[in-house]
Every structure is written in structure tokens, then in C-alpha cells.
């Protein structure tokens, strides 16, 4: 078989088989539209087929170089393609959760959670396997120690690159604080947030890190619904995710009404000794005359709760509950 036909046969087989496998697995297109089968067949920049070009071209090149006998690629084609297979396997594994399990105490993913729909991994895997069948036969020649070392590097290099990139992008490597969970407290306006820390439990360092990443826990004065906030820090990601508050190593209590925040060692209660505006409004409602019409009772309760609240100019747009609620008294 000529080199041209060998390469064309490989390209057509690998291209269609990868698309068929994506469709059989029930995957969707790269941008979430339609079946993966059609998406992977089209080599446009906005489709999965464009990703296939990244693995198909080098695999086809190795098939051709092996046929020409050009060294060192002729000798290294098979280990390089096996390395492409290993890289594809790693790309299809749920590396974020696997590395998270290796670097923390969360359980290792199992079953369906062990894999992810990664088209680039599927392409590398299928191209590497199919190319093995398309390599021209080669007479066995004695191999030197250096040749074996080169083959070993060629085999492991693609997988090592994928592992290195995955490790650098893993949550524990990129972030010093990871969100465990969040939920409302027992009273309206209370919020509980749990965070896993890989940077120790020095209050100043934790506070500085949180200010650089507000998505971890929006401060109460910037939060539409939270008035009091208890942030618990853990050295166990599993405890942070299950909100086992008793295992917290430090607690940061934050308030939107200007009450100074405070730090506690271990797990602490941030709510029982502080009254939120929502709680003050509820207490004022209970103290009003129940015989009054509802709207009049609501107005009286809000007027009572707003005593002493200084209204800022932008109060009606404020995330601080007291400012927003009390600025509407005139209306």
C-alpha cells in the first residue's frame, strides 16, 4: 500500500470512528448543541471536529514517517502513539476530582464519576489506537540502551505533559481556599459558609485571601440577603463539604450593620448575640397592635425598626438591608 493511501485510510477511519463513539456515548457537541457525531465530523473552529485535527495530524504524520523509514520517528512512532493513548486516557479521567482526592480527604470518584466527556481525550485515545494498526511492519533490529531510553521517554512524555497541566490546574494547586458549602442560618438574614484552607489559619492571611476572591463568600454589606455571616475554616475538605461545623479550625463573624467583625479559634456562634435588622423588624411586628390593618401594621413595625438608622444618599440601592428598607419609609 502506498504511503498516500495508507495515510488517507487512517484519517478516514479515525475521523469517523471517533465521531461515532462520541455519538454512541450520548455526548453533545462542544458548545452543547446537537449530537457529538455530527459536531465531531465537521472540522470548523466552532465544532468538536477542529479539536480532532490537533491529534489526527501528528498521528497521521507518524504513520507516514514510519512508512518512509525516516529516523528517529520510524523507531519511535509506536511508543509515541502509545503515549498518545495514555494521554487520551488521562484526559478522559475526571482529573480535577482525582487530584482533589489525592491532595485532600475527599473520597476518590468512582464509577461514572471517574470519567468525563472530554472530546480531546477521545480523539487522542482513538487516534493512538487506530494508528497502531496502520503502522507499516518493520524488521526487528537490535536496540541499544539509548534507544530504549528514547522509547521510554516517547511513551511517557505525552501523558506526563497532560498530568503536569492537570496538576497545575487542580483546585488545590490553584487556590489556597476552596468553598465547601453555604446555607442560610436558622434566622432570616443569617448565612453560614464553610471553606477549606491550605494556607493555615492566621486571621490576617485568611481575611486578605478572601478579599481577593469575593466569590468565596460575598461580604454581608455587599450581599442582598445576608445580614450576619459565619465563615468557618477547615483543614478537612470533606468536613467543609458536609458542614461539620464542630470540626472548624477558625470562625470569622461578619456583620453588615457596622458591628466589628470578630475571629474565634475553632467553631463559634456568630448569631445568638447579635440582632439583625430582619430580626428587629420581626420583633417590632410582634409588638404592634394586631387589630391594625396589615399595611398599617407593617408601616408601624418598619418605622419602629428604623429608629436610629442613618439613611445614606444611595440607600435605596444599597445591599445593606436596613438602608434599603428604611429608605422606603416615605413611600
Q: Helix and strand tally (H, E) in the chain? A: 13, 5
Please indicate, yes or no, if residue 271 is contained in any of the structural domains: no
Judged by DSSP in three states, 176 sits in coil
Question: Does one domain contain both 46 and 165?
Answer: yes
pLDDT score recorded for residue 172: 86
Residue 224 and residue 180: Cα distance in Å, rounded?
21
Say if residue 198's pLDDT is above 60. Answer: yes
Q: Each residue of 131-159: pLDDT tens digit?
A: 999 887 765 555 778 888 888 998 999 99
Question: Does one domain contain both 53 and 147?
Answer: yes
Q: Each residue of 19-43: pLDDT tens digit?
A: 999 999 989 888 777 789 999 998 8
Question: Does one domain contain both 12 and 49?
Answer: yes
The number of domains in the chain is 3
Please indicate, yes or no, if residue 270 is contained in any of the structural domains: no
Grid cell locating 75? 523507531
| Angle at the Cα of 172 from the Cα atoms of 171 and 174, rounded to 5 degrees | 65
Task: Name every residue whose Cβ is closer than 8 Å to that of residue 263 and which is 6 or more positions away in sequence.
Answer: 203, 250, 251, 252, 253
Q: Each residue of 1-14: pLDDT tens digit?
A: 678 888 999 999 99
pLDDT score recorded for residue 183: 94
Please indicate, yes or no, if residue 272 is contained in any of the structural domains: no
Q: Each residue of 252-273: pLDDT tens digit?
A: 999 998 889 999 999 999 999 9
Please indicate, yes or no, if residue 143 is contained in any of the structural domains: yes
Inter-residue contact 25 to 51 (CB < 8 Å): no
Question: Does one domain contain both 252 and 295?
Answer: no
Question: Does one domain contain both 97 and 227?
Answer: no
Full domain range(s) for residue 99: 3-173
Cα 295 to Cα 282, 288, 301, 302: the distances in Å are 15, 12, 10, 11
Please indicate, yes or no, if residue 30 is contained in any of the structural domains: yes
pTM confidence score = 0.77
Q: Each residue of 71-116: pLDDT tens digit?
A: 887 888 999 999 999 999 999 999 999 999 998 999 999 887 899 9
Residue 192 and residue 206: Cα distance in Å, rounded?
17
Cell 512524555, located at residue: 157
Amino acid at each position: 500500500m502506498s504511503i498516500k493511501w495508507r495515510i488517507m485510510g487512517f484519517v478516514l477511519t479515525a475521523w469517523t470512528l471517533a465521531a461515532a463513539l462520541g455519538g454512541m456515548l450520548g455526548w453533545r457537541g462542544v458548545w452543547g448543541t446537537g449530537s457529538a457525531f455530527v459536531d465531531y465530523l465537521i472540522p470548523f473552529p466552532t465544532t468538536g471536529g477542529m479539536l480532532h485535527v490537533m491529534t489526527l495530524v501528528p498521528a497521521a504524520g507518524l504513520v507516514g514517517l514510519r512508512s518512509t523509514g525516516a529516523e528517529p520517528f520510524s523507531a519511535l512512532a509506536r511508543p509515541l502513539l502509545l503515549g498518545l493513548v495514555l494521554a487520551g486516557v488521562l484526559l478522559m479521567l475526571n482529573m480535577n476530582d482525582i487530584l482533589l482526592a489525592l491532595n485532600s480527604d475527599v473520597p476518590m470518584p468512582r464509577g461514572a464519576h471517574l470519567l468525563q466527556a472530554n472530546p480531546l481525550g477521545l480523539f487522542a485515545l482513538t487516534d493512538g489506537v487506530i494508528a497502531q494498526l496502520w503502522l507499516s511492519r518493520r524488521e526487528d533490529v537490535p536496540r541499544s540502551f539509548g534507544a530504549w531510553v528514547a522509547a521510554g521517554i516517547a511513551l511517557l512524555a505525552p501523558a506526563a505533559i497532560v498530568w503536569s497541566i492537570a496538576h497545575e490546574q487542580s483546585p488545590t494547586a490553584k487556590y489556597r481556599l476552596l468553598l465547601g458549602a453555604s446555607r442560610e442560618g436558622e434566622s432570616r438574614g443569617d448565612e453560614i459558609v464553610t471553606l477549606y484552607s491550605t494556607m493555615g489559619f492566621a486571621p490576617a492571611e485568611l481575611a486578605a485571601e478572601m478579599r481577593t476572591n469575593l466569590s468565596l463568600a460575598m461580604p454581608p454589606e455587599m450581599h442582598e440577603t445576608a445580614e450576619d455571616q459565619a465563615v468557618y475554616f477547615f483543614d478537612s475538605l470533606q468536613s467543609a463539604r458536609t458542614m461539620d461545623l464542630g470540626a472548624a479550625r477558625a470562625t470569622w463573624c461578619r456583620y453588615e450593620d457596622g458591628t466589628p467583625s470578630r475571629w474565634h479559634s475553632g467553631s463559634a456562634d456568630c448569631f445568638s448575640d447579635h440582632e439583625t435588622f430582619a430580626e428587629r423588624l420581626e420583633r417590632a411586628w410582634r409588638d404592634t397592635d394586631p387589630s391594625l390593618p396589615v399595611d398599617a401594621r407593617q408601616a408601624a413595625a418598619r418605622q419602629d425598626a428604623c429608629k436610629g438608622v442613618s439613611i445614606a444618599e444611595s440607600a435605596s440601592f444599597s445591599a445593606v438591608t436596613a438602608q434599603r428598607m428604611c429608605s422606603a419609609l416615605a413611600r
